[in-house]
A and B are shown apart, each in its own frame.
Chain A
Amino acid sequence: MRRRSLWADMDWLSVLLYALLVTVGWVSIYAADFDGVRTSMFDLTTSHGKQVLWVSVSLVLAILLVILDNKFYTTFAYFIYGVVMIMLIMIFFIGTEVKGNKSWFVLGGFSIQPSEFAKFATALAVAKFLSSQGTNMKYWSTRLIAGAIILLPMALIVYQGDAGSALVFLSFVLVLYRDGLSSWVLVGGGGFIAISLLSLIVDEKMYLVVGIVLFTAAVIYFVRKHLRIAILVSGIAIMSIGYIYLVSYFFSKLKPHQKDRIEVVLGKLEDKKGAGYNLDQSKIAIGSGGFSGKGFLNGTQTKGNFVPEQTTDFIFCTVGEEHGFIGTMIVLGLFMALLARIIFISERQRSKFTRLYGYGVASIIFFHVTINVGMTIGLVPVIGIPLPFLSYGGSSILSFTILLFILLKLDSDRLAVLR
């Protein structure tokens, strides 16, 4: 067994990508905050000042995570998961409501959102479960338990009123897929999303039902010699029809502002006040950046409060406006590079636990980036989730740092042990 310095096997390329993203984030928060009055960079009353504090805390935490014995994560995976789930339950009783979501603990001047920590906790628990003896994606029991580990935090977070954060957990389907979940699930998932969207877009549900029936009839005609497939297809068709009505039922239960956001993106609701305004302003900001942007601190749309939540969920606008297409490509490039590197790291593990955890990290980051950037350019509904490493916010930067550095710690020990 080799024994090398704690830091020598660290994946410094990932650390570099992390550092670049955090720096871009801080510079953008400074720019978005900037209203012409220059304040100290570390002024704790400003967002960028607080972000410096949070990044510092994150770095200290990162070092601690690396120093900790690697057995800690495997041993305590379920324990950590359990603690976070208890926090999510406790929040119903002692949490504080912010913008309609009762998902915050307020400590002194800072607010903490436990749902952020549920992400790495769930990633650990899923990895631990799937790497334990006797599990196999072929078995229904494995599928169900893995599904339950993912759905529990999701349900609790939905119940807090933060549907956006809950959706993130859907990304774990990629981890399951990597571990052998049938490809049909991915295809089915795609079809599922397609039917969901269709049932939201098409007002007259009968048209959809007729379409599905005709399509199914055609398929059955072609496979009429294979009874089992025909039955399967009929079953799927019936479930789809039921699902269409289920979706419209749940949609009617959404809060009005969530409905508006979804309807604007679907193109059903042209420029409804509020929701459309955010989107318009966000697109104008990014679109007006042009090829090379307006220059650092020279943005006009992300200042003067045209773009809402410009330091948090809409931080990508500042990048797009002030640094143009070059800026957006660099940020997307950095994310793509980090994701590819994480996949690479995951695949070089001898430990199944570390590999699956790595996929969990990649999936979560991917989902966040896709939804966040997508919403700023109007491709997905305005769901309030932060852009990893860039958005202002203590819980966000802390949770993504923890997520990534647990992986880097496990990776640095990959040659030492076989878990």
Chain B
Amino acid sequence: MDIFKNRRFVILGIFASFFIVYAFNLFYIQIMDESYTALANQNVIRNVTVYPNRGLIYDRNGTLIVENDATYEIFVIPKQLKTIDTALFCQLLDIEPQFFKDQLTKARGYSSYVPSSFLKNISVEQYATFQEHLYMFPGFYGDIRLVRKYPQSSAAHVLGYTGEIGQKQLELQPYYASGDYMGISGLESTYEPFLRGHKGSKLILVDKFNREQGSFKDGLYDTAAISGHNLTVTLDIELQAYAERLMQNKRGCVVAIEPSTGEILVMVSSPSYDPNLLTGRQRGNNYAKLQKDTLRPLFNRAISGGAYPPGSTFKSLMALMALQEGSLQPNDVYPCFGGYRLGSHTVGCHAHGPLKNLSSAIQHSCNAYFCYVFKNVIDQSKFETTDDALAKWDSYLYSFGLGNKLGVDIPGEHSGHVPTPEYYNKIYDKGRWKSSTIISLAIGQGELGLTPLQMANMTCAIANRGYYYTPHFLKRIEADTTNYLERYTQKHQTKVEQRYFDEVVEGLHQTVEQGTGRIAQLPGYEVCGKTGTVENPHGKDHSAFITFAPKVDPKIVVLVFVENSGFGSAFAAPIASLVMEKYLNDTIADKRLYLEKRMIETDLINPKVLSSNETP
């Protein structure tokens, strides 16, 4: 009935014939042909990651400031271990037998087939001796690993450091493998995607004596590592190092910016540390030590300091917004009887000569004058409530880059603090506060907080008569950076028109010519500046100095902030002035060398107690 029933044999025959062919083929490759066994057994293929050269970093003058140093890393594949002379091994690598045991246990716990890192940061010399004995230690092998090196030993906070990737990042970023290095802070972190390059991999044949036999199939499956892109930054490393020297043994910071571009020339946070401490084998110990230090050397005061009140340096900004609002005329004069008094609120003033106009009020830094200025801005009849008035006042501050992160290209920036109406409504209840309540804002005290970078940037806006560029470090990357550089070529216009700046700039010039900032005079330059003394409830006042020069077409803005140092003219002004002189003249005039010497030698952290017979 089923005439095709016999076809089952044909079909079974087809099945069987394939299986027989396969069986013969398997017999041949598994039993007859020894070459596969040879390939798999005698030659172990080792899959090695090839790490790229990390991009180098140059300063604005082309000086190399970050380079790579070769070290070696030892790996272990537990599966391939044989009995070895442990004593010799430990001696060659300068490690304890206990460490040897611990590392092996750790490696075995991770995997017996996949290589584990055994020891890192072995110098080229030490590895050379070890390599001669490598044949005695099957299962171990070394590979070159580049670590960062900082030939100038400065700008630690800006450059940042690299380190092994953490567990959290590892999960977020699939490019990295456990044990890879990545930029963790500073520019190393921001420009990580450009600096890191691209890892490659190679297959290496290794014989049973642990000797490398060259690449597998002539490198057919290898991929080359692609070097990272080099970076040129806006720092002037020589000036940076000089500023660091002036700031040694002091707490505070220096920021210098080229106002016409927003390029940051110097950023010092003191106390600092040698960036080379955070590379190499001692990195862990050094990091722990730095972190425990009560002076917080790892902390970048220039951007993360957060809430320093700006003090008198803020008065010029007060004047500018009052001029723009029309509540102040350049020739207005207000009375000063050693201070400003309104009800229960009192703001004291120091002794100074008579005020002729706004410029001389800035020059003498009269507190009473600016209290009136502030009161007249806030109490303008056009505002229905103090809320509206303060909101307007805040909007001026925002336009000068205060109260928000500026967007500098290193991580950790603080937004500072500009008090909003809501803020006071919370403290005093709505409607229960007025201009007199918040009068200390007039002289840059009270609830106002600026980062030193914001202070410097505000000064750039004044120096430029009304605009600034976001302060930044990036000058050039050897890659398509349009997206990165674009952010820094946008002009930010402030809410004060250019015509109102002349009076204020003149006041700043007079401050240096005949006011509190005389120490900052530089022959041949019209220098502008403003001292600031910031009340510090926890100890001696902080001193601040903002300065720019020349008055017309300014080349540099410098801000110096020295904690617990007293008046602004004592330390902040001389240091700022020396940095400026060094930048403009490339050298310090002979008659000012005494000043340089005094600044370098002063130790404000561990002040020397002068004995009576040592009076200067």
Interface positions of A (Cβ within 8 A of B): 35-37, 174, 177-180, 186, 271, 273, 276-277, 280, 283-291, 300-301, 303-306, 320, 324-325, 328-329, 332, 335-336, 339-340, 343, 346-347, 359, 362, 366, 370, 373-374, 377, 379
B170 at interface by CB-CB < 8 Å = no
Chain B residues 84 to 115 lying within 8 A of chain A, measured CB to CB, are 108-114
Q: How far is the CA of A305 from the CA of B177 in the complex (A)?
A: 15
Q: In the complex, which of the residues A177, A286, A304 contacts B29, with contact meaning CB atoms closer than 8 Å?
A: A286
Beta-carbon contacts of B171-215 to A below 8 Å, as 1s and 0s?
000000000000000000000000000000000000000000000
Residues of chain A lying within 8 A (CB to CB) of residue B10: 177, 186
Contact for A359 among B11, B19, B26, B108, CB less than 8 A: B11
Q: Which of A179, A287, A339 is in CB contact (< 8 Å) with B30? A: A287
Separation of A158 and B406 alpha carbons in the complex (Å) = 54
Do B8 and A343 touch across chains, with their CB atoms under 8 A apart? yes
- Cα distance, A291 to B29, chains bound together (Å): 10
Is B341 close to A, CB under 8 A?
no
Evaluate contact between A284 and B40: CB separation under 8 angstroms. Answer: yes
Instruction: Give complex CA distance A335, B45 in Å.
Output: 33
Which residues of chain A are within 8 angstroms of B31 by Cβ–Cβ distance? 290-291, 325
Instruction: Write the chain A residue with the least CB distance to B21.
Output: A379
Which residues in B have their C-beta under 8 angstroms from that of A186? Answer: 10
In the complex the two chains form, is B78's CB within 8 Å of A36's CB?
A: yes
Complex contact B11–A35 (CB within 8 A): no
A304 to B79 alpha-carbon distance, docked (Å) = 11
Instruction: Point out the residues of chain A lying under 8 angstroms from B217, CB to CB.
Output: 271, 280
Q: Whole-angstrom distance from the CB of B36 to the nearest CB of chain A? A: 3
Assuming the contacts A35-B113, A379-B22, asked whether A289 and B30 have C-beta atoms less than 8 A apart, the reply is yes
Chain A residue numbers with a CB within 8 Å of B18 are 366, 370
Q: Is B25 an interface residue (CB 8 A)?
A: yes
When C-beta atoms are compared, the residue in chain B nearest to A36 turns out to be B112
C-alpha gap A23/B615 in the complex (Å): 93
Do the beta carbons of B22 and A300 come within 8 Å of each other?
no
A36 and B79 contact, Cβ closer than 8 Å, known pairs A303-B113, A377-B25, A377-B29: yes
Q: In whole angstroms, what is the CA distance A391 to B331 when docked?
A: 90
Between A and B, 23 residue pairs with Cβ closer than 8 Å are A35-B113, A36-B78, A36-B113, A37-B111, A174-B11, A180-B3, A271-B217, A271-B220, A277-B220, A286-B26, A286-B30, A287-B40, A289-B30, A300-B41, A300-B113, A304-B113, A306-B47, A324-B30, A332-B22, A340-B12, A346-B8, A359-B11, A377-B25
Contacts A178-B4, A277-B221, A284-B40; is A325 near B30 (CB within 8 Å)? yes
Question: What residue of chain A has the Cβ atom nearest to residue B217's Cβ?
Answer: A271
How many residue-residue contacts, CB under 8 A, span A and B?
Answer: 123
Q: Does B594 reach chain A (CB closer than 8 Å)?
A: no
Take A305-B47, A336-B16 as given contacts and tell me if A288 and B41 are in contact as well, using a CB distance cutoff of 8 Å.
Answer: yes
The answer to whether B5 has its CB under 8 Å from any CB of chain A is yes
A303 vs chain B, min Cβ distance (A): 4
- Is B39 engaged at the interface, CB distance under 8 Å to the other chain? yes
| Complex CA–CA separation, A175 to B3 (angstroms) | 15
Known: A290-B37, A325-B31, A379-B21. 12 other contacts (CB 8 A): A36-B78, A36-B108, A271-B217, A287-B29, A287-B35, A288-B36, A303-B113, A305-B47, A332-B22, A332-B23, A377-B25, A379-B25
Q: Which of B27, B111, B113 contacts A325 (CB 8 A)?
A: B27
Tell me, in angstroms, the Cα distance from A73 to B62 when the chains sit together: 80
* B47 contacts across to A, CB distance below 8 A: 304-306
Question: Closest Cβ of chain A: how far from B21's Cβ, in Å?
Answer: 8
Q: Is B591 an interface residue (CB 8 A)?
A: no
Q: How far is the CA of A325 from the CA of B35 in the complex (A)?
A: 16
Q: Which residue of B is nearest A333, CB measured?
A: B19
- 8 A Cβ contacts from B6-63 to A: 7-8, 10-12, 14-16, 18-19, 21-23, 25-27, 29-31, 33, 35-37, 39-41, 44-45, 47
On whether the beta carbons of A347 and B5 are closer than 8 Å, the reply is: yes
Chain B proximity of A165: nearest CB distance (Å): 20
Q: Is the CB of B111 within 8 A of A35?
A: yes
Residue among B14, B16, B108, B113 having the largest count of chain A Cβ atoms under 10 Å: B113
Query: What residues of A have a CB within 8 angstroms of the CB of B79 in the complex?
Result: 36, 300
Find out whether the CB atom of A284 lies under 8 angstroms from the CB atom of B36: yes
B528 CB → nearest A CB, Å: 62
Instruction: Give the CA-CA distance A356 to B95 in the complex, in Å.
Output: 72
Q: Contact between B22 and A288 (Cβ–Cβ < 8 Å)?
A: no
Partner of B8, one of A178, A283, A290: A178
A11-B47 Cα distance, complex, nearest whole Å? 49
- Which B residue sits closest to A35, measured CB to CB? B111
CA distance A186 to B7 in the complex (A): 12
Is there an interface contact between A177 and B36, defined as CB atoms closer than 8 Å?
no
Residues of chain A within 8 A (CB-CB) of B37 are: 287-288, 290
A306 and B45 in contact, given A36-B78, A286-B30, A286-B36 (Cβ under 8 angstroms): yes
List chain A residues, Cβ under 8 A from B25.
377, 379
A289 to B22, CA, bound (A): 16
| Docked pose: A288 CA to B14 CA in angstroms | 29
Chain A residues within 8 Å of B113, by CB: 35-36, 300, 303-304
